[in-house]
Amino acid sequence: MTSPSGRALISTSQLGHAYGDIVALHHLDFTVPNGRIGLVGANGAGKSTLIKVLLGILDPTEGSAQVLGIGVADDPIAVRARVGYMPEETCLPLAQTAADFTVYAAELAGIPTKAARQRASDVLTLVGLHEERFRYLGEFSTGMKQRAMLAQAIVHDPDLVFLDEPTAGLDPEGRTEMLSLIGRLGEFGINVLVSSHVLTDIETTCDWVIMLDGGRVLRSGPLTGITESDTVDVELLRDGGDGHDVIGALQRRGAEVEVRGSVLRVRSADDAFDLIRDALAETGAGEVPNDHRAGRCLRPGVQAARRSPPRPAGRHLRHRP
């Protein structure tokens, strides 16, 4: 749970944040160790807000948080001196070259110019942009921009880097490359907190996962404890009936299904996520409007399942541990 020095990488106590009347984070209590931490949840679950609170960009409206043993509210500058941040939205000055911007990003962290140039060169090589380093960022593809954003986040050799949806907008190949890069950060002693709404990405890169839903922590623990679970809860909000079609499809695949109101508890010796995906694809139960909460959770996974039956591109099911 803690680093070798005895400190947790991140810990929160009753942490909350609200945008006016809209509460984005509710009483978050968790502690995570060094390593690669996954922050998973649907869009609007509070992932980006949590990262901004941990960076000290947003003030917590209640509770407290510590990053690398430093109270975020007490000394946000000290926290920022030791972390990096790759935001979800693009953060690149389009009229600068990748090299110039990466050097500048290093200098902003207090690295002398000469050392910053060397580090920028090294980091751009690491992310695969060495050949492109003198091109303007405005000429970059989406994948190259993502890698440039990762480069600026790690150029000053932080102890911890926050990556907010680093694979957003990438094609499958770019996604794989980005996940590989994230996986390699540990080799350089950089701890990672990566947020994603795609559980598969977290599975690929992380060894600890925090699950957020509606601003609350559903679960925080080692990834192995989650992936080895044979039970998954799915909230079936609308399937045109009372769920019999989905239950039947699941049972035909050998799953035990327990109905708890609108929640189906699915238990299977096989991968329960795969069974649910196939059952939803068969019955069309996931075809719900996008503006519906479950729609955001279920529909992409079902569509992905139809395109590539052997393995979903991502798990978007609402998971209840």
Residues of this chain that bind other proteins (CB under 8 A): 55, 57, 77-78, 80-81, 83-85, 87, 89-95, 105, 108-110, 152-153, 162
Return the closest-CA partner of residue 163 out of 121, 131, 206.
206
Beta carbon nearer to other proteins, 190 or 217: 190
Min dist. Cβ of residue 85 to other proteins (A): 3
Beta carbon nearer to other proteins, 111 or 211: 111
Q: Are 231 and 270 in contact (CB under 8 A)?
A: no
Q: What is the distance between the alpha carbons of residues 111 and 125, in angstroms, rounded to a whole number?
A: 19
Return the closest-CA partner of residue 240 out of 301, 309, 305, 294.
294
Strands (E), the chain: 10-19, 22-32, 36-40, 62-67, 70-71, 83-86, 160-164, 191-196, 208-213, 216-222, 231-235, 256-260, 263-267
CA 95 → CA 101, 135, 159, distances in Å?
10, 10, 30
Min dist. Cβ of residue 84 to other proteins (A): 6
Computed over its alpha carbons, how large is the radius of gyration of the chain? 21
Beta carbon nearer to other proteins, 80 or 299: 80
Min dist. Cβ of residue 81 to other proteins (A): 4
Give the angle subtended at the CA of 203 by the CAs of 202 and 209, to the nearest 5°. 60
Return the closest-CA partner of residue 192 out of 207, 177, 203.
207
Min dist. Cβ of residue 36 to other proteins (A): 19
Q: What is the distance between the alpha carbons of residues 12 and 192, in angstroms, rounded to a whole number?
A: 17
Cα dihedral: 275, 278, 284, 288 (round 10): 70
Beta carbon nearer to other proteins, 93 or 289: 93
Beta carbon nearer to other proteins, 78 or 168: 78
SS3 state of residue 61: coil
Min dist. Cβ of residue 272 to other proteins (A): 38
Min dist. Cβ of residue 73 to other proteins (A): 14
Min dist. Cβ of residue 64 to other proteins (A): 20
Min dist. Cβ of residue 270 to other proteins (A): 42
Beta carbon nearer to other proteins, 89 or 173: 89
Beta carbon nearer to other proteins, 108 or 259: 108
Min dist. Cβ of residue 108 to other proteins (A): 4
Residue with tokens 């968790």: 30
Beta carbon nearer to other proteins, 91 or 237: 91
What is the arrangement of strands in the sheet containing 256-260, beginning at the earlier edge strand? 231-235, 263-267, 256-260
CA 318 → CA 40, 50, 238, 250, 299, distances in Å?
11, 19, 14, 17, 11
Beta carbon nearer to other proteins, 23 or 91: 91
